Amino acid sequence: MAPLYYSITTEEQNVSLTILSKSAFQEFVARLLPHYRVVGPVPHDIGYSFEEIQDVTELRMEYPTTILPPKKWFLPPKETLFKFTRKNGGVIQDPPETPPTVILGVHTCDLHAIQLLDTVFSSGQYDVHYMGRRKKTLIISIECLSPCDEHSFCKDMGTLTADEGYDLHLTDLGDSYAIDVGTQAGADLLQNYSSSSVATKEEIQKLNAVINAKWPKFSYRLDFDVSELSSIMELSMKSPLWEELGNRCLACASCTNVCPTCFCFDVKDEVELDLVTGQRVRNWDSCQLDDFATVAGGHNFRASRALRQRHRFMRKGKYILDAHKHLGCVGCGRCARACLVNITPVSTFNELYRQQETGSH
């Protein structure tokens, strides 16, 4: 648990809270490298991305946001579901083994998104491909202490912190990290590969001060409380806004491609040059693309961009919440950054709210 404020009454109550100096953290990561595939935020010329690192110096624990969310390590943009042979039609299940993996530096918005994806792929029909990777992965998340940019609205969406979903959770105290242990696996990792110490009274006070100072730096951007979002969406099916967004939308699918909670996919067969063997692959797909809901006979059940934008925002604000008890939007702002025509969730949700308040539709 990462409560907003840590009790300093007795040290026994905070045994899960440990301290690692920044140099000791570097050492910790270096010790993980021979035993784990270590993934973390790495700078590129156009932004940051979650990449496998070979050396701890590649890692940037302080970063604004990444172009793609860490989702790609569990649900890759393209993956092989199985191989087949067209002779006798045999299915060959030969999944590559996922190496034990540690993902470092996951922001809490992405942490919330991963919890949603875990629910989607483990409930109902169990997805061995996603869950196989997920179960081999430990997540070391980090508390955000300042907003990444003007597009994020994590504070509105309740994702500016997290009290579960991580194995270890870091808070930057300047020259050290306070580490909250979320799982036994996280505790073991810390125990086996680091020389962390139990937080002192002063360190807990410092942590409280850091967390105390962070919240005012983030502003609310929605004009309503997020608990109202689902009902606002429910009443917005016939809003004129969808037509307006549809007229602007280029149906490029950038929004869904960068979204940490989007999980729709397409499945295709690929045949090798021998024309006998091949593989069935799963690719990320997007409800914003023209033929997403087109059946073989040619009928498109969501033929207009307006209907497709509506579907996207309905999923984000309502459908996914109804189905999985997690909001389908975590306020990371990636879709707003990626959109070429400035369609953003904040302006969309606020406009729907305004239309209802003023009865303008």
Partner 1 sequence: MVTIASYPQMQTGTIMDRDIYAPGLGTIVNIRPLTSLEKVFTIQLPEGQSLGHRPGQFMEVSVFGIGEAPISISSSPSRSNGTFELCARKVGDVTTALHNLKVGDKVGLRGPFGRGFPYENFRGKDILFAPGGLGLAPLRSLINQVLDERNLYGRVIILYGARNPGELLFKDELKAWSERDDVELMLTVDRGDEAWTGNVGVITTLFKFISIYPRNTVAITCGPPVMYRFVLMEFIGKGISEGNIYLSLERKMKCGVGKCGHCQINNIYACQSGPVFPYKEIKGLEEAL
- Rule CB under 8 A: which residues touch partner 1? 81-82, 84-86, 88-94, 120-129, 131, 237, 263-269, 271, 275, 278, 280, 282, 285, 287, 292-297, 299, 301-302, 307, 311, 314, 318-319, 322-323
Tokens 């689902």 appear where? Answer: 230
Quote the CA–CA distance of 165 and 159 in Å, as a whole number.
12
215-254 burial code (b ≥16 CB/10 A, e <16): eeebeebbebebeebbebbeebeebebbeebbeebeeebb
The nearer residue to partner 1, 19 or 314, going by C-beta atoms, is 314
The nearer residue to partner 1, 249 or 320, going by C-beta atoms, is 320
The nearer residue to partner 1, 207 or 314, going by C-beta atoms, is 314
The nearest distance, CB 326 to partner 1, in angstroms, is 14
Quote the CA–CA distance of 113 and 157 in Å, as a whole number.
11
The nearer residue to partner 1, 50 or 84, going by C-beta atoms, is 84
The nearest distance, CB 183 to partner 1, in angstroms, is 19
- Name residues whose C-beta falls within 8 Å of residue 199's C-beta, 6 or more positions apart in sequence: 6, 11, 14, 17, 18, 19, 178, 207
Is residue 251 within 8 A of residue 288, CB to CB? The reply is yes
The nearest distance, CB 258 to partner 1, in angstroms, is 17
Q: What is the DSSP letter of 139?
A: E
The nearer residue to partner 1, 144 or 255, going by C-beta atoms, is 255
The nearest distance, CB 280 to partner 1, in angstroms, is 7
The nearest distance, CB 297 to partner 1, in angstroms, is 5
Q: Which is it for strands 197-198 and 17-21: parallel, antiparallel or unpaired? A: antiparallel
The nearest distance, CB 101 to partner 1, in angstroms, is 20
The nearer residue to partner 1, 46 or 296, going by C-beta atoms, is 296
The phi and psi torsions of 316 (rounded to 5 degrees) equal -65, -40
- Name residues whose C-beta falls within 8 Å of residue 313's C-beta, 6 or more positions apart in sequence: 233, 345, 348, 349
Quote the CA–CA distance of 177 and 171 in Å, as a whole number.
5
Say if residue 179 is exposed, middle or buried (CB neighbours under 10 Å; 0-12, 13-18, 19+): buried
The nearer residue to partner 1, 277 or 356, going by C-beta atoms, is 277
Quote the CA–CA distance of 180 and 141 in Å, as a whole number.
10
The nearest distance, CB 93 to partner 1, in angstroms, is 5
Which two structure tokens, joined as six digits, stand for 121? 């792929």
The nearest distance, CB 78 to partner 1, in angstroms, is 14
The nearer residue to partner 1, 4 or 276, going by C-beta atoms, is 276
